[in-house]
Amino acid sequence: MADRVRFGPAGFPIGFKGAVTEVPSYLKDEGLDAFEYQAVRWSVKPRIKREVAEEFRAKASENDIWVTMHGSYFINLAGKEEVVKKSIERLKACLEAAQWLGAEGVVFHPGFYGGKAPAEALKTCIRAIGELVEYMESRGFKTYLRPETTGKPSQLGSLEEILDMCSRFKLVEPTIDWAHIHARGRGSLKSKDDYLRVFEKIERVLGSRSIETLHFHFTHVEYGDKGEVRHRTLEEPYGPSFDLLAEVIVENGYKPVIISESPILDLDSLKMKKTVESLKARGVACGGRPDR
């Protein structure tokens, strides 16, 4: 469980030129305290040396940086048998390296419907996740698998589907990508109540444990009839509104880890942090979540 609301980028900060082991101190100097390591191009073997990853882990701990990992983009746990098998191997490589890096979770996109009925695609995915959980338990891994809400209606990963996946396994928790929810719903996050309904659904399906391990992605997003088109900065006139989300977070005492997927990564992370801190300074916080 995060000890406070934490902020950080999905990948190297803008302008950063050093080695990965220097990222934690750089982020701390910026005023950030989270980092999502990008393993999005990995195949079936880790693409970071263990000794480098373990040095990074020590530096992250020293600088109080909360670490997660984004797994390979080449994942489809709802596809044909050979595709699923290869996807499982890619996620195993990420899970192994996550132990070296000290990553709390491995985020991944579950897959595509690909002509299958949604219920069939979900069933195939859940079966694959079960195999991964067995592997994790056999190795004593403590890292969470974190299926992410997806931004296109052609992708497996609606909020309901992600929560269904997570409800079946103790080591599986959601990554709530607010831009994806917004884009998939063609601009569905318009009010505080829209945000609150997502939180309420998470807690209703997964219980209080899910509220204690909240992991978010956030950016503004451009979308069309087929869902997500591209990420946009917080300065650009797109949604969803971080101000509204920040109010919900502060008023209810939530402590998520918020990863910026903005094109300007850490710079928008700092803007989000400033927004939350400003609300707290104004005394918006209620001192904890109300009983539900």
Q: Look at residue 287 and tell me if it is in a domain.
A: no
Q: Write down the pTM of the prediction.
A: 0.95
Q: Return all residues near 140 (Cβ < 8 A) that are at least 6 apart.
A: none
Residue 274 located in a structural domain: yes
Is residue 48 in a domain?
yes
Q: How far apart are CA 185 and CA 196, in angstroms?
A: 16
Q: Decide: residue 233, CB within 10 A, 0-12 exposed, 13-18 middle, 19+ buried.
A: middle
Within a domain: 292: no
Give yes or no for residue 209 having a pLDDT over 90: no
User: Is the residue at 129 inside a domain?
Assistant: yes
Whether 119 has a pLDDT exceeding 70, the answer reads: yes
Burial class (CB in 10 A: 0-12, 13-18, 19+), 197: middle
Span 18-64, pLDDT tens digits? 999 999 999 999 999 999 999 999 988 899 999 999 999 999 999 99
Q: What is the CATH number of the domain that holds 95?
A: 3.20.20.150
pLDDT of 286 > 80? The answer is no
Range of the domain at 59: 6-281
- In tens, the pLDDT along 135-194 reads 999 999 989 999 999 999 999 999 999 999 999 999 999 999 999 999 999 999 999 999
- The residue-averaged pLDDT of 266-288 equals 86
Establish if 288 belongs to a structural domain: no
Q: Are 213 and 255 in contact (CB under 8 A)?
A: no
Q: Per the domain annotation, does 286 fall within a domain?
A: no
Tokens at 67, concatenated: 């670490």
Rg (CA), the chain: 18
Q: Tell whether 289 is covered by a domain.
A: no
Q: How far is CA 270 from the centre of its chain?
A: 18
Higher pLDDT, 287 or 32: 32
Average pLDDT, the chain: 95
Structural domain count of the chain: 1
Residues 6+ apart with CB under 8 A from 95: 106, 132, 135, 136, 139, 141, 143, 145
